[in-house]
Amino acid sequence: MMEDRNISKMDVEFYLLNREYNKLNSDELAIVNEHVESEQEFNEMKAVLMGVGNFFKAEKELEPNPAIKAALLKEFDKQKPAGAYWLNGIFVSLFPNEKKIYQKPGIQLIGLAASVLLIVAIGLNGNADINNSTLAQNEGVKTEEETVQKLSKLEREEVDQENNLQIEKDLEPTADILYKEIEVAASNEVVIEEKPVAVENNITSTDFMYDAKLNESVAADLDYLGNDNNLNEVEESFKKRSSKDKKMLAISDDKLVISATIPATIEIVEEISLADDEGYFSDDASASSNTIVIGNSTIELPINSRTLAEDADLIDILYTAM
Amino acid sequence: MQLVKKPYTAETDENLMKEVIKGDSRAFSEIYDRWSKPMLNYFYKMLWQDREKAEDFMQEIFTKIIHKPQLYNPSRAFKTWIYSVANNMCKNEYRRAEVRKGTSNSLHDNIIVHDSSAPDKEHDKNIFNDRLKEELELLSENHKKTFILRFKHDLSIKDIAEILETSEGTVKSRIFYTLKKLGENLKEFSPVAKTIMVGMCLIELARYII
């Protein structure tokens, strides 16, 4: 109280509030005695002063009517032009302290927005196809199903990969053979190229093949091929050329042709037949049954064709039927 | 570029009044929130504890701020300015009351008009408070104003002197005079008086026993 009212020590009020009369020193007593005649008067004034403080503290203060503020603000807005706008003024405008929570414009706007969103959401769902079978489908279950499908797909892919590996494994002998060939060729400076058709000395099956254009009748073909002498001549000719040129072994599949100088150590052990099942000479050298010896290594080539001599009986039957 | 303004609650009254003069309604709202209650209670005390009259006067003082804010000098403390305006309004009302008193059977012949909703009834049981209230109403207007500004609104001697447009010595003198008078009139409530009264009762009791 003393600090609030800026009470000076020169004021009697200070001594009334903080001192007893009989405890005042001479200086303080001199100040007090300028205004107070006796100790009794001092005590009376002291009692009043203490009581006044409590009286005003205990007194309930009146609260202004909120309607007055509203009227004054309205009056102010009429009288004064709008001043500068601030961002924090927006929040104050939306959520004024003096209004109840449901009366605040911000709360009302939020409620309105929520209602609109709800209506829009309901409206969108209302437009959905009622006959749609997935209407009541649980999204979570659907996701699990999709996951299961994905897993089964992955499993299938793994199985496919395993099958492919198995197939590759089945093909491994061929791969080994080719690998060995490449190794041998490399050690003997043999250049290996992957060319569908690249026979250096132009030895192709067409050289040995029966020319269908010249012989239009099947009978003529059979006559020609049925003759062992003719066949032997062809074979002999091929052998001759091969041994003579020493350049081409025609180890050729549809994709791989070794066109290089064949080392002298390579020799055809078995008879090479260039005739296919139908009696035509094939340009696929790999189709013929043979074994190739390269140094100490022996390469087994697949046998998937028969000689004309072997099929001579079938040719006879066909000829008879014609 | 400043987008967010400093909160009004942190601003001084003087700065808020500058904004009010510019037309800032939020500044006016803040000023109202700070000063409406003290003004209402001041008018209530000074105008015969008439709540309706106090509310009218309180509204009128803020209407003056709206229509004539330039009357406020920013170099002066707002607190003393608004109390001095309120004091002048009270003076005018006293004059009007005197005129009414002279021309008719006025209500204000030292008669306290009690508002039915006044909170003073809560203290009716407190004898001292009732007596003090009565004694305050019996004071002259100047003494009463000085006393209320000093002890109800906790204003300093200097501020009171500025509000009442008088000297500090006069204010001190008024306060002292009021205290002295109240002390005399309420001396039965002083501790010394109580002690004397208890002593006298004991003596009377002893005499009766003997």
Rounded Cα–Cα distance for residues A23 and B201 (Å): 29
Q: What is the dihedral of CA A127, A132, A138, A144, to 10 degrees?
A: -130
Test the A interface: residue of B176, B178, B189 with most A CBs within 10 Å: B176
For residue A203, the model assigns a pLDDT of 47
For residue A135, the model assigns a pLDDT of 62
Nearest in space to B73 (alpha carbons), one of B162, B154, B153, B10: B162
What are B72's two structure tokens?
């406020």
For residue A286, the model assigns a pLDDT of 43
Residue A209: pLDDT above 60?
no
Residues of chain B found within 8 Å of residue A73, distances taken between Cβ atoms:
25, 28-29, 32
Test the A interface: residue of B28, B136, B168, B184 with most A CBs within 10 Å: B28
Q: If contacts are CB pairs under 8 Å, which of residues 58-117 in chain B contact chain A?
A: 58-59, 62-63, 66-67
Lowest mean pLDDT across A185-194, A244-253, B83-92, B97-106: A244-253
Residues of chain B found within 8 Å of residue A60, distances taken between Cβ atoms:
119, 122
User: Cβ of B183 and A47 within 8 Å?
Assistant: yes
Segment of A124-133, A143-152, B159-168 carrying the highest mean pLDDT:
B159-168
Which residue among B51, B55, B156 sits closest to A6, beta carbon to beta carbon? B156
Lowest mean pLDDT across A22-36, A150-164, A202-216, B153-167: A202-216
Give the Å distances, CA to CA, from A206 to A6, A252, A277. Answer: 129, 15, 16
Write down the ipTM of this complex. 0.71
Are A261 and A295 in contact by the 8 Å Cβ rule? The answer is no
Rounded Cα–Cα distance for residues B23 and B33 (Å): 17
Rounded Cα–Cα distance for residues A7 and A49 (Å): 13
The string of pLDDT tens digits covering residues B142-155 is 898 899 898 888 88
DSSP-derived 3-state class of residue A213: coil
More confident residue, A256 or A78: A78
What are B184's two structure tokens?
């005399």
Going by pLDDT thresholds of 50, 70 and 90, the confidence category of residue A316 is: confident
Closest A-chain CA to B7: A88
Going by pLDDT thresholds of 50, 70 and 90, the confidence category of residue A167 is: confident
Q: If contacts are CB pairs under 8 Å, which of residues 123-152 in chain B contact chain A?
A: 123, 126, 128-129, 132-133, 150-152
Residue B159: pLDDT above 60?
yes
For chain A, strand residue ranges (E) read: 267-268, 291-294, 297-300
Q: Does A96 touch chain B (CB under 8 A)?
A: no
For residue A32, the model assigns a pLDDT of 82
Give the Å distances, CA to CA, from A58 to A193, B123, B136. Answer: 114, 8, 16
Residues of chain A found within 8 Å of residue B5, distances taken between Cβ atoms:
86, 88-89
For residue A187, the model assigns a pLDDT of 61
Region at B165 (left for phi over 0; alpha for psi -120 to 50; beta for the rest): left
Taking residues B52-77, report their average pLDDT: 89
In terms of pTM, does the model score above 0.80?
A: no
Nearest in space to A65 (alpha carbons), one of B39, B152, B68, B86: B39
Lowest mean pLDDT across A9-13, A76-80, A274-278, A308-312: A274-278
Report the percent of chain B where pLDDT is more than 70. Answer: 74
Residue A88: pLDDT above 60?
yes
For residue B118, the model assigns a pLDDT of 45
* CB neighbourhood size of B118 (10 A): 15
Rounded Cα–Cα distance for residues B208 and A36 (Å): 38
For residue A115, the model assigns a pLDDT of 94
CA distance B204 to chain A (A): 23
User: Cβ of A88 and B4 within 8 Å?
Assistant: yes
Residue A151: pLDDT above 50?
yes
Residue A182: pLDDT above 70?
no
Residues of chain B found within 8 Å of residue A62, distances taken between Cβ atoms:
37, 40-41, 44, 51, 54, 118-119
Rounded Cα–Cα distance for residues A242 and A238 (Å): 6
Rounded Cα–Cα distance for residues B198 and A47 (Å): 17
Mean pLDDT of chain A: 68
DSSP-derived 3-state class of residue A250: coil
For residue A261, the model assigns a pLDDT of 45
The string of pLDDT tens digits covering residues A14-33 is 888 888 888 888 888 888 88
Residues of chain A found within 8 Å of residue B170, distances taken between Cβ atoms:
none
Residues of chain B found within 8 Å of residue A53, distances taken between Cβ atoms:
151
Residues of chain A found within 8 Å of residue B157, distances taken between Cβ atoms:
6, 8, 11
CA distance A30 to chain B (A): 16
Rounded Cα–Cα distance for residues B50 and A129 (Å): 72
CA distance A25 to chain B (A): 21
Closest B-chain CA to A98: B33
Residue with tokens 């407190």: B126
Test the A interface: residue of B15, B25, B43 with most A CBs within 10 Å: B25
Residues in Cβ contact with A11 at an 8 Å cutoff, skipping those fewer than 6 apart: B157, B172
The string of pLDDT tens digits covering residues A230-251 is 656 656 665 665 555 444 445 4
Q: Does A87 touch chain B (CB under 8 A)?
A: yes
Strand arrangement of the beta sheet that strand A267-268 belongs to? A267-268, A291-294, A297-300
Which residue among B58, B154, B172 sits closest to A64, beta carbon to beta carbon? B58
Q: What is the DSSP letter of A272?
A: P
The string of pLDDT tens digits covering residues B5-20 is 667 777 888 888 888 8
Taking residues B43-59, report their average pLDDT: 90
Which residue among B5, B62, B193 sits closest to A88, beta carbon to beta carbon? B5
User: Cβ of A44 and B184 within 8 Å?
Assistant: yes
Residue B62: pLDDT above 90?
yes
Q: DSSP readout, B54-86?
A: HHHHHHHHHHHHHH-GGGS-TTS-HHHHHHHHH
Q: DSSP readout, A151-198?
A: HHHHHHHHHHHHHHHHHHHHTHHHHHHHHHHHHHHHHTT---B--SS-
The string of pLDDT tens digits covering residues A257-309 is 444 444 444 444 444 444 444 444 444 444 444 555 555 656 565 555 566 77
Test the B interface: residue of A55, A57, A91, A94 with most B CBs within 10 Å: A55
Q: Are strands A291-294 and A267-268 parallel, antiparallel or unpaired?
A: antiparallel
Lowest mean pLDDT across A57-66, A167-176, A267-276: A267-276
Taking residues B119-144, report their average pLDDT: 73
For residue A225, the model assigns a pLDDT of 57
Segment of A98-102, A169-173, A311-315, B168-172 carrying the highest mean pLDDT:
B168-172
Taking residues B52-81, report their average pLDDT: 90
Residue with tokens 């039957």: A317
Taking residues A148-162, report their average pLDDT: 88
